[in-house]
Structure 1
Amino acid sequence: MKKIGINIEVDVFSRTQTTDKIISATAYNFAIGLTLCWGFAINWLMVTNMSPESIAAINPWVFFIGYFASCFLGMCLFNRFNNQLVSSVVYNFVVVPFALIINLMVSQYDEVLVSEAIRITGLVTIGMMCLGSLFPAFFQKIAGALTIALLLVIVVELIEIFVFGVHHGILDWIVVLIFCGYIGYDWGRANQIPKTLDNAIDSAAALYMDIINLFLRILRILGKK
């Protein structure tokens, strides 16, 4: 009888042992790709079927508290439960809040520009995944620097927006570089843990957030041109 694992202390990418069935590398990568496609499909459905006005009408505090609470709950459950069925459901706790943000963002830009941003994001993602496979040790070394850089950029952006009322485009480029690094880092880590269906879904969640953040910044850069 298969055991449903519950792990409170070990995060997804620290898993070194498992009681789940190990699948082939091809099946593992396919599962990651399929999970990512599911998330992107939800994004597309929500963007095409929900008006940005209805999202903008939500109280900002309610929206952002619900957004961060849903994402945080999703990531906590990913680390807590080592079961693919749970992970499949929890994945949506991460995807849906991001879809609301995407809806608000893409509504401000022309469809051609959005398509261009999607194409560039896809090409960059594939490139960074290849680099993550070839040089996992390098991305492991820069992980700490990526985290510090991201936190610093967030603080600077908040100060610029709420104190000075400006936003410098160079910050968008910096964030693009940071999330390029995160894609390579998370892809490298995903292929170093046991290749199970649950780990594929959990890894896809981390990659999904990297890719969406990259897409939104690329869209902003293209929009300014």
Structure 2
Amino acid sequence: MEVEVFDRNSTSDPIIGAAAYNLVIGLTLAWGFAINWFMVTNIDPKSIANISPWVFFIGYFASCFFGIYLFSKSNNPLVSFVGYNFVVVPFGLIINLVVSRYDAELVSEAIRITGLVTIGMMCLGTIFPEFFRKISGALTIALLLVIVVELVEIFVFGIHHGVLDWIVVLIFCGYIGYDWGRANQIPKTLDNAIDSAAALYMDIINLFLRILRILGRK
């Protein structure tokens, strides 16, 4: 185990070309989305809903944090890919529960919008990496604040303001630009490509879920 992926300024691992690096990121993302699609189409959401909430959420967070630890600390591509899957699977369970509440056409629209926004933010992250690096701290603070406000609204007041979904969309748009920008600042190795894809995957899925929620209200 070594330093976290985005803190790596040098490496003894083989460097791959920019095209190959971006291809690995794309293929890794595609793998995660394919696993999620398989879970949505083959797992009955009722079977997930029947799991004890405490068991579900403890397992969810344990799997996610373990996966994040693996891919962020390891410089072994295989270990990082295993860690990535420890994140993809619990996210897939959440996605399954959420999309089961919406019409397939609406889900397709949310996927299309998410894809277009992601491409746009990646372009901006490539052009203005320094800008996204400067706002990364503000993004983290804003996300933590929104999470606290949402929890208070839901569990104390039993309400949810739609404007929070728009705020979260903006936050994860910023994170996509930030993570894509710093993915291209670190050494272009196979392991770093997988690690970068894992970070982008979480940004994109969170963005998709919020966009779907916004579209669902309309």
- TM-score normalized by the length of structure 1: 0.96
Q: Of the candidates 169, 176, 179, which is equivalent to residue 176 of structure 1?
A: 169
- TM-score normalized by the length of structure 2: 0.99
In structure 2, C-alpha distance between the alignment counterparts of 1:115 and 1:78, rounded to whole Å: 30
SS in structure 2 of the partner of residue 82 of structure 1: coil
Structure 1 segment 21-170 matched on structure 2, within 5 A: 21-170=14-163
How far the C-alpha of 1:89 sits from its partner, in A, is 1.5
How far the C-alpha of 1:97 sits from its partner, in A, is 0.4
Unaligned runs of 5+ residues in structure 1 are 1-5
Q: Which residue of 2 aligns with 1:3?
A: none
Unaligned runs of 5+ residues in structure 2 are none
In structure 2, C-alpha distance between the alignment counterparts of 1:123 and 1:97, rounded to whole Å: 25
Matched residue type, 1:173: W
In structure 2, C-alpha distance between the alignment counterparts of 1:109 and 1:79, rounded to whole Å: 34
How large is the RMSD of aligned CA atoms in angstroms?
A: 0.5
In structure 2, C-alpha distance between the alignment counterparts of 1:165 and 1:204, rounded to whole Å: 36
In structure 2, C-alpha distance between the alignment counterparts of 1:166 and 1:86, rounded to whole Å: 41
How far the C-alpha of 1:88 sits from its partner, in A, is 1.5
Number of corresponding residues: 218
SS in structure 1 of the partner of residue 212 of structure 2: helix
SS in structure 2 of the partner of residue 183 of structure 1: helix
In structure 2, C-alpha distance between the alignment counterparts of 1:75 and 1:85, rounded to whole Å: 14
In structure 2, C-alpha distance between the alignment counterparts of 1:97 and 1:169, rounded to whole Å: 25
How far the C-alpha of 1:17 sits from its partner, in A, is 1.2
